[in-house]
Amino acid sequence: MNTRRYIRERFFPHLWCPGCGHGIVMSALVGAVDSLGLSQNEVVVISGIGCSSRMPGYLDFHTMHTLHGRALAFATGVKMGRPDLTVIVPMGDGDAAAIGGNHLIHAARRNLDLTAVVLNNRIYGMTGGQSSPTTPEGDRSTTAPYGVLDPSFDLVELARGAGASFVARSTTYHAQETRELLAAAIAHQGFSLVEVLSQCPTYYGRKNQGGDAVAMMKTFKQITAPAGSQRAAQDPGLITRGILVQEPRTEYCAAYGELVRELSGHEE
Amino acid sequence: MESRSLKEELSVLIDVDWCKGCGICVAFCPKQALSLDEHGKARWTGPEDCVRCGLCQMRCPDLAIELR
Amino acid sequence: MPKETIFAQGNEAVVQGALYAGLDFYAGYPITPSTEIAEILAQRLPQAGGRFIQMEDELASLCAVIGASLTGLKAMTATSGPGFSLMQEALGYAVMAEVPCVVVNVQRGGPSTGMPTAVAQGDVMQARWGTHGDHAIIALTASNLADVFLMTVEAFNLAETYRTPVILLLDEVVGHMREKLVIPGPGEVEVVQRLRTSVPEGTDYHPYLAREDGRLPMSDFGGVHRFNVTGLVHDMWGFPSNDPAVAYGLLHHLVDKLENRAETLARYQDFFCDDAEVLLISYGSAARSALHLVEQRRARGMKIGLLELNTLWPFPAQTVRKYCRGRGHVLVVEMNRGQLHGEVQKAAEQPERVYLANRYDGVFISHKDIMQVLHVVLGKGV
Ligand SMILES: Cc1ncc(C[n+]2csc(CCOP(=O)(O)OP(=O)(O)O)c2C)c(N)n1
Ligand code: SF4
Ligand code: SF4
Ligand code: SF4
């Protein structure tokens, strides 16, 4: 695959820190789009604000960098305006689960055909290492110097509970799997969420003795297991990977289009 | 057979301007075919051991590696 | 289609104007006294092949409107006080990213939840400065259904012409009042269509490079030109920039494109102004009472006139200055603590002659209320 076809080379090397997992997810996303044979003109990538949200600027699609947490709301307008386009929404964990949590659950509930990709580094990278709703209890951040007191969100369960029709999880260590899951999510007709555990060596790693990027990725390998695998069954403490929810459900634009057809069918 | 020979034609190309020396590709290459040079940039030092699995390309956060 | 006459509510006149202007996307969240706009559009838009969606809040609504606009649709949202406050971040985004859209605010008593069903005009300054940072904005208003219709069409026209969000600042009385509305036939009122780029595929398109006439042709998402849209300071391709010269140029452009055209954008009407010694300046529903008073006093021989503003922002300072010139007394009539009064004072050559007749207790200001103030101003006692 010719990766460079899909990126805006003039902005490289990119601004992410050495070893930042966000680049791996971007690479997987490009691979997923390529594997689906989509043309660049039919793909829209919309992000909020954060390190992860720098992604659209690097990608040669129709791109939009919006407001912290609000990307899915902008994406809703784009998708309803042009249901034929593929709309992909990369988000940080703060973006998706804190300030944008409400948009996330409603996007999942509506089942509009958007692909939300949450780059979960369990910290606020862009603003310098504050805790996020996915920072594990007890872990440290600049705003939790004594350790986080509140329990963290499980994004997969959150999305499942909100009615998402496709939910998957992977990690940057599992780059190939991430690409395949992203491709499946994009191909899915309806709202899909893919959580990718991504390393922030600069803040999360440093604050929590996570080691460098390599060490953090090794940890991702150790603490996760494919859903349905023997390892996962033996150790319920492991985080499951793979497709975790996949249920066909009426897509919002399709339902809306049906309504318009019905109404135009019998004129008042 | 044919696909194998095709694979051997592939080279692991590293853009040293983009590489930030994170060492991810080196650490996870199943064949130890990569290493960091004295400038901290990744190099394809073992082409003969390399199985062209593409893992380095997929895991490079800087999109600095291409198999071509 | 011939002209159609209906008996409608102000909020419905907004809907009629929006549909006339080519509205094809609405996103909103219910709030008194604007809710009818959403309710009527929920029914009408799908019938007309347009799109309606109820979002989870007002900020999301404006975000969705911006997204839809970028795909080439004429898009609108409507709200009131608290919802307008929630929208401010997205409003700034639309200003910065130069995305045409219309935001209706049917004002109610504030601050906070205030008096949900009572009239007020307390959001005049919020419309101007509600979103952070230096910027310019267009805000239009109206006092009767015919003007609500026309100003709604105008809001879409100006949004498209200047690639900017336009605020339609109505109030509870206008939104809920019922009167006859004549809906013009097609072509009777000008409708501005989106200006799209003629740059062919494969040629560098600059979404943020103004033509000689100042307009910036657009390209729809999903079209042949791929570009970036951001709320960050950006270059002519839409890519973020930290260059002070780019920031300076962009801010200048965003402000100048509207402020330098304040007089072109000025929509206003005058009543009995030629020989008026007392000039009332008003807008929105307050202007109804102001006009009532003017007509009543004229009948008794008083030299009094009314300047009714339909454009509040950019403030038509030159027009107002001209109208104030040589008058004995100028009385600004509004339902707030003097938000436009300050602007008129700034514009007038003799600010000491600019007085305020107002109410801010949720009660619609009457011609008697204005007359009371006028008596004091004219030194006739109460
Ligand atoms: C309304 C608003 N509040 C706060 C911020 C500041 N801010 C920018 S990014 C960010 C958090 C970023 O963390 P996350 O979403 O997890 O993404 P990451 O940077 O870790 O990829 C915050 C708080 C903002 N831009 N806008
Ligand atoms: S601060 Fe963290 S998330 Fe942000 S670029 Fe650096 S490593 Fe990545
Ligand atoms: S292609 Fe595979 S074997 Fe070859 S250098 Fe890359 S990771 Fe190592
Ligand atoms: S993974 Fe990429 S950036 Fe990191 S050392 Fe290897 S080539 Fe360089």
Interface of A with B in 168-187 (CB under 8 A): 172-173, 175-176, 179
Closest CA to A197 of A176, A178, A179, A215: A178
The domain total for chain A is 1
Q: A9-18, A65-74, C69-78, C205-214: which range is least confident on average? A: C205-214
Within B1-68, residue ranges assigned H as helices are 2-9, 24-28, 55-59
Domain CATH number, residue A121: 3.40.50.970
Q: Rounded CA gap, A241 and A239, in Å? A: 7
- State pLDDT tens for residues C65-117: 999 999 999 999 999 999 999 999 999 999 999 999 999 999 999 999 999 99
What average pLDDT does range C135-149 have in this prediction?
98
Sorted by where each begins, the domain ranges of chain B are: 6-67
Domain B6-67: state its class.
alpha beta
The domains located in chain C, with CATH, are 4-183 (3.40.50.970), 270-378 (3.40.50.920)
Which residue, chain included where needed, has tokens 């964990």? A93
Q: Is the pLDDT of residue C1 over 60?
A: no
DSSP-assigned states of every residue in A107-141: HHHHT-SEEEEEEE-SSBTTTTSB--TTSPTT--B
Q: Is the pLDDT of residue B2 over 80?
A: no
pLDDT band per the 50, 70, 90 thresholds, residue C22: very high
Residue A133 in domain: yes
Q: Name the residue in chain C with its Cα closest to that of A65.
A: C230
- State pLDDT tens for residues A85-128: 999 999 999 999 999 999 999 999 999 999 999 999 999 999 99
Mean pLDDT for chain C overall? 97
pLDDT over 70 percentage in chain C: 99
HEC readout, chain C: CCCEEEEEEHHHHHHHHHHHHCCCEEEECCCCCCHHHHHHHHHHHHHCCCEEEECCCHHHHHHHHHHHHHCCCCEEEEECHHHHHHHHHHHHHHHHHCCCEEEEEEECECCCCCECCCCCCCCHHHHHHCCCCCCCCEEECCCCHHHHHHHHHHHHHHHHHHCCEEEEEEEHHHHHCEEEEEECCCCCCCCCCCCECCCCCCCCCCCCCCCCCCCCCECCCCCCCCCEEECCCECCCCCECCCHHHHHHHHHHHHHHHHCCCCCCCCEEEECCCCCCEEEEECHHHHHHHHHHHHHHHHCCCCEEEEEECEEECCCHHHHHHHHCCCCEEEEEECCCCHHHHHHHHHCCCHHHEEEEECCCCCCCCHHHHHHHHHHHCCCCC
Q: Using the beta-carbon criterion (under 8 Å), do C72 and A65 form an inter-chain contact?
A: no
Residue A6 in domain: no
Residue of B12, B57, B68 to mutate, ligand 3, most atoms within 8 A of C-beta: B12
Name the β-bridge partners of C183. Answer: C4
* pLDDT attached to residue A2: 86
Closest CA to A169 of A112, A246, A236: A246
What average pLDDT does range C38-59 have in this prediction?
97
- Using the atom order of ligand 1, give the atom closest to the CA of residue A134: 16
Query: Does ipTM top 0.95?
Result: yes
* pLDDT attached to residue C381: 67
Q: Is the pLDDT of residue A40 over 90?
A: yes
* pLDDT attached to residue B3: 52
Q: Is the pLDDT of residue A189 over 80?
A: yes
* pLDDT attached to residue A264: 86
Q: Is the pLDDT of residue C182 over 90?
A: yes
What average pLDDT does range C143-161 have in this prediction?
98
Give the number of other CB atoms < 10 A from CB of residue C338: 18
pLDDT band per the 50, 70, 90 thresholds, residue B7: low
Mean pLDDT for chain A overall? 97
pLDDT over 70 percentage in chain A: 99
Residue A93 in domain: yes
* pLDDT attached to residue A268: 42
Chains B and C touch (3+ CB pairs under 8 A): no
Residues of chain A with C-beta less than 8 angstroms from the C-beta of C46? 256, 259-260, 263
- State pLDDT tens for residues A118-156: 999 999 999 999 999 999 999 999 999 999 999 999 999
Residues of chain A with C-beta less than 8 angstroms from the C-beta of B60? 23-24, 27
Q: Does A14 touch chain C (CB under 8 A)?
A: no
Domain holding A178, by residue range, is 17-267
- State pLDDT tens for residues A197-254: 999 999 999 999 999 999 999 999 999 999 999 999 999 999 999 999 999 999 999 9
Q: Which of A4, A13, A179 sits opposite B20 (nearest CB)?
A: A13
Give the number of other CB atoms < 10 A from CB of residue C49: 12
- Using the atom order of ligand 4, give the atom closest to the CA of residue B56: 1
